[in-house]
Amino acid sequence: MATETHSHHEVDHHEGHETDQNLWDGSKSPFKVSYGKLMMWYFLVSDAFTFAGFLIAYGTLRFSMPSWPLPDVVFSTFPGGFHHAPLIFVTLMTFILILSSVTMVRAVQEGHRENKRGVVKWMALTIVGGLMFLGCQAWEWTNLIAKEHMTITTNPFGTHVTDGVYLNEDGTEAKNEMGEVDKFTSGHTYLIHKKDGDFHKRKFKITSGSLKGQVAQESFGPKAFGGLFFFITGFHGFHVFSGVVFLSVIMLNSMSGLYAKRKNGYEMVEKIGLYWHFVDLVWVFVFLVFYLL
């Protein structure tokens, strides 16, 4: 009996040793992951460091300046002429992108089942979601550039750090539509171009604090805001656009039956799915940094 047990252990050890060696053969991956998926993970990790560097740079500049535009004011418009709807439009954009991530999951699931029709259907919906997101981003950029006059060097959204009363050009106190004296409050954001879309840098006199009685002039907000916003959101938009192109190519290959012949669970669909989920995850951080802080 003891001899049989000893022989059994020897066989197990020998078999386990052979299995370990086979894992390190040139034709197999030691991580039980294909070469393509492993390279995709390497790319995503490196790209994550790139986005992290951009967002850290934004945060450093954001908190090193005494004033910064308030997101509730900058992003308060909605298509159709609606105003004073803070973050509603960008919330819709985020919902569309997250929903496209759900359809991508379904495409990967259908690929594991070797269901060509299901893969094509859900990838098509994912592409539609990506195009809708890009369309929303194009409208947002157009609105900020054409109507709000924000550029990479000009930021029309300024935050005042002291209280005061606006003055007209003749030195009299400015009044609003209600006939009340037009005041600005410390810590609040105001648009400099208030009339007919033109820039108006009105003077105001300070009526409280240590600067009481002095007259100052309204100025634009920090220049870095426009440049950082367009660069980082544009960089992310380029990733979404690239993803839509890759998704379209892979969907066409799926329709042709190319991946069905390989009998590998539509691995290419799974790889582009990893990329698409990464793009969605990055947008969550961009949304947090630009639109909520």
Confidence at 251, pLDDT banded by 50, 70, 90: very high
| 148 and 163 part of one domain | no
Confidence at 193, pLDDT banded by 50, 70, 90: low
Number of folded domains in the chain? 2
| 120 and 54 part of one domain | yes
| 215 and 115 part of one domain | no
Last residue of a domain, one of 176, 195, 219: 219
Last residue of a domain, one of 167, 196, 219: 219
Is 114 within the bounds of a domain?
Answer: yes
* Mean pLDDT to the nearest integer, 74-96: 84
Is 76 within the bounds of a domain?
Answer: yes
Is 108 within the bounds of a domain?
Answer: yes
Confidence at 196, pLDDT banded by 50, 70, 90: low
| 150 and 161 part of one domain | no
Is 42 within the bounds of a domain?
Answer: yes
Is 6 within the bounds of a domain?
Answer: no
Tell me, yes or no, if the pTM score tops 0.85: no
**Residue 72: per-residue pLDDT:** 78
| 44 and 121 part of one domain | yes
Confidence at 67, pLDDT banded by 50, 70, 90: confident
| 43 and 143 part of one domain | yes
Share of the chain above pLDDT 70, in %: 80
**Residue 62: per-residue pLDDT:** 85
Confidence at 14, pLDDT banded by 50, 70, 90: very low
Last residue of a domain, one of 200, 219, 238: 219
| 188 and 120 part of one domain | no
Task: Average the pLDDT over each of 16-30, 86-100, 105-119, 203-217 and give the range with the smallest value.
Answer: 16-30
Is 255 within the bounds of a domain?
Answer: yes
| 69 and 185 part of one domain | no
| 195 and 238 part of one domain | no
Q: How far apart are CA 55 and CA 48, in angstroms?
A: 11
What range does the domain containing 108 cover? 35-154+224-292
